[in-house]
Amino acid sequence: MGMLFGCLQQEDPPISQNVLKSVIRSFRDSLSRGIDNDEWELLFKVVKEQSINGDKEYQDLLRNLWVFEYVDTQGNWFALNPLLMETDKFKLWQQQNS
């Protein structure tokens, strides 16, 4: 909803691709700005394992919207916020670990 509001602040519908990309970049940069190196390492661990160990980590990662929890008939798993997948830091890590 926040990204939609950001788009609507810039122009009336239909929303142009340029405005949408600009708003996504802004949200991505804002979200990633607060992540330190230790937290990035924890995020990379979540990407590898699709799980979170410990209640404090669980609360911190979900509260900060760095990780999302998904649930289906086979259980629950965790994944990195798609906005963070667009950061240079994540892309570099992904290249080094593929």
CB 66 within 8 A of CB 31: yes
Instruction: State the pTM of this model.
Output: 0.87
Q: How high is the pLDDT of residue 53?
A: 87
C-alpha triplet 61, 65, 71: angle, nearest 5°: 80
Question: Three-class SS of residue 85?
Answer: helix
Peptide bond into 82 cis (omega under 30): no
pLDDT tens, position by position, 43-56: 999 999 999 988 99
Structure tokens at 6: 């950001």
pLDDT tens, position by position, 53-78: 889 999 999 999 999 999 999 999 99
Q: Whole-number mean pLDDT of the chain? A: 94
Residue 1 to residue 26: CA distance in whole angstroms: 14
